[in-house]
Chain A
């Protein structure tokens, strides 16, 4: 039995009750397969970094569970079957992971600033020395 972390995005048009229902369903899937939920977190509605299935926003649900491969197979199968889920990701946390599921607070670090002409849309590779165009 290993610990896994699973995250999925629900369509934004669902009501809170409907969201809770989906979450309960997923928890049920984990438990049905002999796993156990360790933590669960609802991040609420967030803007997506890119459009997914015509949606620009989504409700993020993150949770950790203990279980084996069977749980993941069934869980991901259920994700795919569930129309309200537009994206999901299941990962094995690395060693020494603190196990926090809340989204880390936005920003203090200095954002990366690229030099002009460094990050051009028409180039796959970096090219700093030459002038753009």
Chain B
């Protein structure tokens, strides 16, 4: 079985699997899984989140940024 170089395994939404429906902006250790080292939000295509959970995560990240729990952009 030879797979094309670009084939990726199907990613499942982590929150759907765990049946978590709300994401707390205070939970920075969890949110850090969904931002890059520079502080950008990881796109759904990479994170594997479903649309509704990606929105929830995005909102939480934006809230955390606004209260200085997460950086808007991180210098390396």
Task: Please list the residues of chain A having a beta carbon within 8 angstroms of any beta carbon in chain B.
Answer: 7, 9, 48-50, 52, 58, 62, 87-89, 91, 94-97, 100-101, 103-112, 114, 118-119, 121, 126
How would you classify the secondary structure of chain A's contact residues: helix, strand, loop or mixed?
A: loop
Q: Are B32 and A95 in contact (CB under 8 A)?
A: no
How would you classify the secondary structure of chain B's contact residues: helix, strand, loop or mixed?
A: loop
Chain B interface extent, by class: 20 to 34
Identity of the chain B residue whose Cβ is nearest the Cβ of A121 in the assembled complex = B38
Q: Can you report 13 A-B residue pairs in the complex whose CB atoms are below 8 A from each other?
A: A48-B68, A49-B65, A87-B66, A94-B56, A95-B21, A104-B26, A104-B27, A105-B29, A107-B29, A111-B33, A112-B32, A112-B42, A119-B40
Task: Please list the residues of chain B having a beta carbon within 8 angstroms of any beta carbon in chain A.
Answer: 21-22, 24-30, 32-38, 40, 42-43, 47, 56, 63, 65-72, 76
